[in-house]
């Protein structure tokens, strides 16, 4: 039991925060829907329920994926977070289907809903809370890639670096981006329908929110299916390769592989060095490279093999700039 609590302390904090906030939002929206019967509010209730359940799964999955390797599972549990996320998107998919179905029914049989002021207040508060969670997820994305940014630039920079974020953080980011957009869309639908009597618009908004949820399902499914299989991280291969080649004693890289498993990166290298170097000198090179590579965010283990220089250049990438070598 103690081990489980220790693992939970290491779970993705963005996912836990988002799960708690979305649970509160879902309860508020659900109560408002019971009083008003507004179909856009129903769509938002389903959306928040799906997000909350999903993000609780993500939190537990990200925590359990950090469990140390065992004799039965020597490769560790890094891919567990990908498996959990694949299961979690099924919940969002079901909620999305229900949202679209209810919206379609309302388009065919539009009815006037009440509680205009209640709907506006609830949707406004929910959208503000979801924007706060989205901002925290954006900050987490930048933190995970080593970029400490504040102010309005967070919104721009987080999109640029989203691809490098951990799977759990990426899911929270995408879900709350859709949740915030859906909240704004629901508010517009409620206001326009109230002042124009075009009540089908609430159903149309529900369908659009459901389609946005399906977009998240598709994107997360593809990302995590690749993670379960074991996806090569080409960007990190290039970065680590350049770092290794910047070492003055490394003559060439015969092979480099960086496999992404959940939130972890597994690095395997085969380098060439001068054959005249002693075993002790070769061991120093290996230790030096280990230290540099482990300093990269997300690297869980490094395996380096050493061979003598064969005079044929295999590495096709670039070296790091000269000023980096002197650091």
Show the tokens assigned to 30.
């659900």
Per-residue pLDDT tens over the stretch 93-143: 888 888 898 889 889 988 887 788 988 999 899 899 888 888 888 988 888
- For residue 289, the model assigns a pLDDT of 93
Q: 234-325 belongs to which CATH class?
A: alpha beta
Identify the band that residue 326 occupies on the pLDDT scale cut at 50, 70 and 90. very low
Exposed (0-12), middle (13-18) or buried (19+): which is 150, by Cβ within 10 Å? exposed
C-alpha 212/C-alpha 217 separation (Å) is: 9
3-state secondary structure 25-67: HHHHHHHHHHHHCCHHHHHHHHHHHHHHHHHHHHHHHHHHCCC
For 258, phi then psi, to 5°, come to -125, 110
- For residue 148, the model assigns a pLDDT of 78
Mean pLDDT over 6-16 rounds to 76
How many CA atoms lie less than 13 Å away from 14 in the CB half-sphere? 26
The vertex-300 CA angle with 257 and 225, nearest 5°, equals: 65
Please count the helices (runs of H) and the strands (runs of E) in the chain. 11, 4
CATH, domain range 2-229? 1.20.1510.10
Average pLDDT, the chain: 83
The residue with tokens 């290039």 is: 238
Per-residue pLDDT tens over the stretch 233-280: 787 888 899 999 999 999 999 889 888 776 678 899 999 999 898 889
Mean pLDDT over 198-204 rounds to 87
The full set of domain ranges for the chain reads 2-229, 234-325
Cα 219 to Cα 71, 213, 228, distances in angstroms: 34, 10, 15
Per-residue b or e along 62-95, where b marks 16 or more CB atoms closer than 10 Å to that residue's CB:
bbbbbbeeeeeeeebbbbbbbbbbbebbebbbeb
Chain Cα centroid distance, residue 244: 28
Considering only CA atoms, give the Rg of the chain.
Answer: 25
């Amino acid at each position: 039991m103690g081990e489980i609590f220790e693992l939970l302390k290491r779970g993705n904090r963005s996912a836990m925060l988002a799960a708690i906030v979305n649970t509160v939002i879902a309860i508020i929206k659900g109560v408002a829907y019971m009083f008003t019967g507004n179909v856009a509010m129903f769509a938002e209730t389903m959306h928040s329920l799906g997000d909350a359940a999903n993000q609780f799964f993500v939190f537990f999955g990200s925590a359990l994926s950090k469990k140390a390797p065992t004799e039965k599972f020597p490769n560790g549990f890094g891919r567990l977070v990908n498996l959990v996320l694949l299961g979690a998107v099924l919940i969002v998919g079901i909620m999305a289907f229900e949202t679209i179905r209810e919206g379609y029914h309302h388009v065919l049989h539009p009815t006037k809903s009440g509680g205009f002021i209640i709907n506006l207040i609830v949707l406004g508060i929910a959208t503000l809370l979801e924007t706060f969670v989205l901002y925290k997820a954006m900050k987490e994305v930048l933190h995970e890639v080593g970029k400490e940014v504040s102010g309005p630039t967070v919104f721009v920079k987080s999109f640029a670096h989203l691809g490098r974020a951990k799977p759990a953080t990426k899911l929270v980011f995408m879900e709350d981006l859709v949740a915030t957009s859906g909240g704004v869309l629901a508010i517009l639908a409620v206001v326009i329908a109230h002042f124009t009597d075009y009540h089908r618009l609430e159903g149309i908004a529900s369908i659009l929110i459901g389609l946005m949820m399906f977009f998240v399902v598709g994107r997360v499914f593809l990302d995590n299916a690749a993670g379960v299989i074991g996806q090569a991280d080409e960007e990190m291969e290039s970065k680590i390769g350049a770092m290794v080649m910047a070492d003055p004693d490394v003559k060439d890289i015969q092979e480099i592989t960086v496999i992404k498993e959940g939130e972890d990166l597994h690095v395997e290298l085969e380098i060439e060095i001068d054959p005249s170097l002693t075993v002790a000198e070769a061991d120093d090179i290996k230790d030096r490279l280990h230290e540099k590579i482990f300093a990269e965010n997300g690297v869980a283990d490094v395996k380096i093999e050493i061979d003598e220089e064969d005079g044929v250049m295999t590495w096709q990438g670039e070296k790091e700039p000269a000023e980096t070598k002197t650091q």
